[in-house]
Amino acid sequence: MFRRIGNMVVRHPVWTIVAWLFAAVAIVATAPSLPSNSDESSFLPKSYESIKAADLQERAFPSAFTPSAIALYRRADGGALTAADRKDVDRITSELGKQHIDQVQKVVPGSPSKDGKYTMTLVQMDSKKAGQPEQTAAAKKLREKVGQLTRGTHLDAKLGGSAAQALDQEDSSKRGQALIGIGTFAIILVTLLIIFRAPILAVLPLVLIGLVSAIANGLIAYATKLFGLQANSSISSILIVVLFGVGTDYFLFLMFRYRERLRAGDAPKQAMINAVDRVGEAIASAAGAVIIAFLALVLSTLGFLKQMGPALAIAVAVTLVAGLTLIPAVVSLIGPKVFWPSKSWQREPDNARFAALGRGVRRRPALTAAVSGLVLVALSLGALGFKATFDLASGSMPKTKESMVVQDELQKAYSAGAAAPTDVYLSSTRGEPLDKAAFGAYAKKLGAVDGVAEARLNQVSKDGTTADFTVTLKYEASTEQAIDAVGEVRDVAHADAPDGTEALVGGMSSIFKDIDTAVNHDYRTVFPVAAVLIMIILGLLLRSLVAPWYLMASVGLGFGATLGATVWIFQSGQGHPGLMFMLPVIMYLFVVAIGTDYNILMIARLREEAREGRDPREAAGMALRYAGPTVAAAGFILAATFATMMLAGNSLLTEMGFAVSFGIVIAAFVMAMFFTPSLTALIGHAAWWPGHGDRAAVPAGGSPAPVPPGSPAGGGTGPGSGQEPGRTAEDSRGRRG
């Protein structure tokens, strides 16, 4: 199949390129816009208690005041607010209400802090448009107006709240994407220049993948709108890295083989056809593993991950098609001039370092497997200390952003949980008005829960069937203590609800509690499903029932080592209270799926060497010698491109960038180069059971292919043989490099 694809695109390169350009123009011109949503509650299904509570609030208290923006005031000199200052705040609040800013429904004064140094203006917006562009525009205008109205006073004012957070997150995302894009381009360009010493080859993948990126983003926007998926600005940053990192990987896989076939004496066009034929199966299998792993995210209960899975799967699928069609078509048009001005493509390098590593694996596979395995196990121990944090908004932007400063100051000036109180909604199950006499005792029981600072009746619905109790926690809403406390509040609220009533607990801490439950569900569902599907792909590729088990076990160890290292760096080293809650899921999919790419490339080369008549140890050593440079180059570029996410300046992408790049380093330089080939060498022919994928081809006469003098079967390698053991001279020339 891959030979037919190679023949088609190489024989008709112009039409192939025209088809891609036409698709790019059509898709980009017609694709819908992709809005961003940073509202954590929108990521949960309707079945969770916090979402049921929010729906009940809208029905029972349609006019309830829920601030979307908070203007926080303090004196510029840090002193207590004077009477004149408070008059200025009242004036500013009144003026803001008269501005008739789009989306703003109500502007009211807030309560002063206990120390008298802070006070607030609360702004309510349309709750149905939370996180949408209209409200970020409203927040921008509010921030400008507050700045204008405080001029000439002694007040320092900052705008926070969910709408302001969405605005700051959007701004941070744009800056982060720019830095990530520049960093990714620079790393790919410089690394390819070092590897090939050819400017055309260094620039070519950036241009081609840029075209692929436009098509992929358009298709993702279509899919997001068609299936009603949630969008988040962080996904755009991840997409940049996935498209250029994975795309460069496939480009390298193909170009190394193309160069190899040119050295073997193939005509340029035939060299590309043979390259697609030989490496196409490995690229397709590697991409298939990544796509299936990403698609497993549709089983997630979180909207953020549900959208990320198909988006990344589409990106990798488009990259795969480009790797098998667009890249071969363009390179076949240019021909060997693609390597200009370097002449190194004409001669085979010694690969002395990788040859030495290959000899080490061949001679001591048990020691190699033990040492590399111990490294993975030792790093994995750190995973036992993993803790999760759930504040997606603050994790998606630097702490220096204005809305984050407001959030921190609110927590210090008021009760830590006052900025995001918990609400307990007690409603009648019989449609009759509630017994108000029971409210005092119920509030008292809620207030007695460990971790609760205060519990009081807030309001009762007009028909008397629903009561809203405001519960202020002692802790900030996203902390582990707050999530544990809201769990106890739920227990008491449900257990002590009077007869004929039911209780629902809402608020941000309740949402985070449900996100925690949803993530734990995803661990039990997404992880095993992705693993099983990847194992099926490995089994089909290798025609083996044994190899997929230890390959997946090695990747599992790689995941544990990556999580452990991330915990030690960020929790123990930098003092973070926890890692972003979705990080293990994302890390698992990237490290398992993309890490499997390098295992596939190495094991496929090992099988190819074994089919030349080599014993398992010799095949492992030769595979490392010849596939090692490709794995090293691809692994370095992909790890470095993911590391650019750390430039974004927020904890979510910093943690994600480090974790995924470290995981790829482990996958490429520990698993694929040492652990996997050494285990395969130790297991021997049994690794391919029940098939015989490593057996040398048997000619029609029924005897195995002859082994030339100097091979292991022929009594040693002759120094003057001029060819590798077990190869014909022509094949040896063709497969090197």
Predicted pLDDT of residue 419 = 66
What ranges in 325-401 are assigned the alpha helix state H?
326-334, 352-363, 365-380, 392-395
Which residue, among 542, 550, 660, 668, has the nearest Cα to 611 in the 3D structure? 542
Predicted pLDDT of residue 679 = 92
- CA separation, residue 439 to residues 164, 327, 390 (Å): 36, 70, 32
pLDDT tens-digit readout, 227-277 = 766 555 556 667 777 788 788 888 888 988 898 888 888 899 999 999 898
Is 70 exceeded by the pLDDT of residue 725? no
pLDDT tens-digit readout, 467-494 = 999 998 888 887 888 899 999 999 999 9
Q: How many CB atoms lie within 10 A of CB 406?
A: 24
Query: pLDDT-derived band of residue 40, with 50, 70 and 90 as boundaries?
Result: low
Predicted pLDDT of residue 353 = 80
Query: pLDDT-derived band of residue 399, with 50, 70 and 90 as boundaries?
Result: confident
Predicted pLDDT of residue 653 = 78
SS (H, E, C) 577-640: CCEECCHHHHHHHHHHHHHHHHHHHHHHHHHHHHCCCCCHHHHHHHHHHHHHHHHHHHHHHHHH
Calculate the average pLDDT of the chain. Answer: 83
Is 70 exceeded by the pLDDT of residue 730? no
Q: Percent of the chain scored above 90 by pLDDT? A: 29
What would the DSSP string read from start to end of 420-444?
S-EEEEEEESSSSPP-GGGHHHHHH
Residues 180, 130 contacting (CB under 8 angstroms): no
Query: Tokens standing for 713?
Result: 């079967």
Peptide bond preceding 341: is omega within 30 degrees of 0, i.e. cis?
yes
Q: Round to whole Å and give the CA distance between 642 and 194.
A: 19
pLDDT tens-digit readout, 573-593 = 888 888 888 888 878 777 777
Is 70 exceeded by the pLDDT of residue 731? no
Query: pLDDT-derived band of residue 726, with 50, 70 and 90 as boundaries?
Result: very low
Predicted pLDDT of residue 34 = 59
Query: Tokens standing for 299?
Result: 């089983």
Query: Residue written as tokens 């490290």?
Result: 591
Predicted pLDDT of residue 417 = 67
Q: How far apart are the first and last CA of the chain?
A: 25
Predicted pLDDT of residue 92 = 93
pLDDT tens-digit readout, 128-187 = 677 677 888 889 999 999 999 999 999 999 998 888 888 877 777 676 677 777 887 888
Helix 162-196 to helix 199-226 angle (10° resolution) is 150
Q: Which carries the bigger pLDDT value, residue 397 or residue 502? A: 502
Q: What is the pTM of this model?
A: 0.74
Q: Percent of the chain scored above 70 by pLDDT? A: 86
Q: Round to whole Å and give the CA distance between 609 and 731.
A: 11
